[in-house]
A and B are shown apart, each in its own frame.
Chain A
Amino acid sequence: KQEVTQIPAALSVPEGENLVLNCSFTDSAIYNLQWFRQDPGKGLTSLLLIQSSQREQTSGRLNASLDKSSGRSTLYIAASQPGDSATYLCAVRGATNKLIFGTGTLLAVQP
């Protein structure tokens, strides 16, 4: 059974720092991995999707990498801003369409 874990559970950094969020999964037989952002009381905003054949994806200040064989993905945020404060979730898709989510990393960027 696929299990998805995110470390750290919470992170506080000063504005301008570069940071890395980690996601690990137990079954490497995934089709893709998706990173989301969730603001308090809100829905999930899709940030990046990495297909299983890809190593990384970039969007603006965000870069996500995938190492399928070791069951790991990282989300790198460059030059963090207070507006980046949110919970970041990773989710993996296996042979079926359902996404299996991690517990998330709560990020606070201090001005």
Chain B
Amino acid sequence: EPEVTQTPSHQVTQMGQEVILRCVPISNHLYFYWYRQILGQKVEFLVSFYNNEISEKSEIFDDQFSVERPDGSNFTLKIRSTKLEDSAMYFCASSDENNQPQHFGDGTRLSIL
């Protein structure tokens, strides 16, 4: 069964450094998402992306965050200058239609030191 893949599985970064989290959505999907889950808290929406542009973003997704689909397969989340509070599990998801199930990857655990 096709799946969403995320790399790396764990990223450790110094505060203030830039980090790029990578995702390969399911190949025929058109809608892409990033969510995050701080340890012990709810899964929170960050951003949705469709037709090569952001369709919605949350208050968390400030100017330090950006997303990109650099080619036909990858979908990336960049954090320009990381803060301690960015430490979380980051999940990528994709769906083929906007009313169909969102399928999630296994996540990238981001640890900011």
**Cβ proximity bits A83-94 to B, threshold 8 Å, 1 near / 0 not:** 000000101010
Partner of B43, one of A32, A41, A49, A91: A91
- Asked if B100 and A49 sit within 8 Å, CB to CB, the answer is yes
In the assembled complex, the Cα of A89 lies from the Cα of B31 at a distance in Å of 21
Partner of A46, one of B55, B103, B109: B103
30 pairs, A vs B, C-beta closer than 8 Å: A32-B99, A34-B102, A41-B109, A42-B106, A43-B4, A43-B104, A43-B105, A43-B106, A43-B107, A44-B43, A44-B104, A45-B104, A46-B101, A46-B103, A49-B100, A89-B43, A91-B43, A93-B99, A96-B48, A96-B56, A97-B55, A97-B56, A98-B33, A98-B48, A98-B58, A99-B33, A99-B43, A101-B43, A103-B42, A104-B42
- Chain A: number of interface residues, binned into ranges: 20 to 34
In the assembled complex, the Cα of A103 lies from the Cα of B50 at a distance in Å of 27
Chain B residues whose CB sits within 8 angstroms of the CB of A31 once the complex forms: 99
In the assembled complex, the Cα of A49 lies from the Cα of B104 at a distance in Å of 14
- Asked if B102 and A46 sit within 8 Å, CB to CB, the answer is yes
Pick the most buried of B6, B45, B91: most chain A CB atoms within 10 A of its CB: B45
Main secondary structure, interface of A, reads: strand
Task: Judge if B17 is at the interface, Cβ distance under 8 Å.
Answer: no
**Cβ proximity bits A68-111 to B, threshold 8 Å, 1 near / 0 not:** 00000000000000000000010101001111111110000000
Min CB gap A102→B, angstroms: 7
Chain A residues whose CB sits within 8 angstroms of the CB of B31 once the complex forms: 97
Chain A residues whose CB sits within 8 angstroms of the CB of B48 once the complex forms: 96-98
